Chains A and B, each alone.
Chain A
Amino acid sequence: MPSDLRSMAQHIKSGMRLALPVDYAGVSMAMTRPMIDHGAGDLHLICVPTGGLQVDQLIGAGLVTSVETSAVSLGEAGGAPRFNQAVKDGALRLRDATCPAIHAGLMAAQKGSPFVPMRGLIGTDVLRHRDDWRVIDNPFADGGDPIVLIPAIRPDIAIFHAPMADRFGNVWIGRRRELAAMAYASTQTLVTVERIVDHSLLADEMTAAGTLPALYVTDIGLAPGGAWPYGLWGEYPTDTDELARYARAARSAEGFAEYMASQAKVQA
């Protein structure tokens, strides 16, 4: 039985670390409003590996304390206005990263390892501002060869949107395997889907190949069009007009509040 999105939001407690996917990988925009209404704040967002509309809205709603990300933007619609304002105001703890470092941190958690090493990064200000990363000399080199160690990222909850689930709790993620990586690394995983099918996705090798097993899935909600205004691969395209409309509205706190209020009405 699919769960109600509002009851799914109850899993989120103040102070939790949430992992959210990149805009093209299946953002559960449908969960944004229930999350804001639920109101659990002091959230630590981990963008896998970049953030967009959902991150901007959660920041605008005042729920976010820190963001670990490789970027936050609205893509073609420009900068993320509430994020940018919060940065200017010093209202966010920023953990600027680079895409593969976020993947690396999740991979460490997936493997149950305290860290993984990663090439690159040496000499960047990204590294200079990360006191939670370490640099060691590669123990397999003859000396020198500095290499960065990225500690495991263990989110409390991963939240994403996918094309389908079955009634046994398995979720089809196709080739968007970062969604599986998020789930492996996270204690809980909340998923919204376009549809729920009766047959097991694991019963057939073709669907099984793109399936995240129920073992990792805490709760599933039915939300057709649930990535909107983002698109969902193989399902529907991004509504760039709506993203642009948001980008214009959210330039000010008032405009953001009005936009969110009008959205709430549409959804009610």
Chain B
Amino acid sequence: METNFSINYENKVVKVTLSGSLDAKRAPALADEIKKLIGKDIEKIVFFAKDLEYISSAGLRVIIFSKQKIGIDIKLYMVGATEGVLDVIKMSGIDNIMEITDTYEE
């Protein structure tokens, strides 16, 4: 189960589409991509998680990290996450630092 993620940065919005497993093996590549955005003018990071099947603390850490490193004032969104992924996000209290929605409107 690979994570295939794609990142798009446009109009101060970063869109990250996740799929498969975001685990300790696969999270570092995402962290590397997010690091490349440090210093850019960003208002929102939107994670599209409809096809994300599994997340571990390594994956959560990338999300926390993106807020800490890109800017503490940016807004994080988690869109369409499945029940299992949402459970893990809530368990760890990360739902406090992001907006969880079913769909996303531009």
To the question of whether A and B form a pair in one complex, the answer is no
- Which residues of B does A touch, CB under 8 Å? none
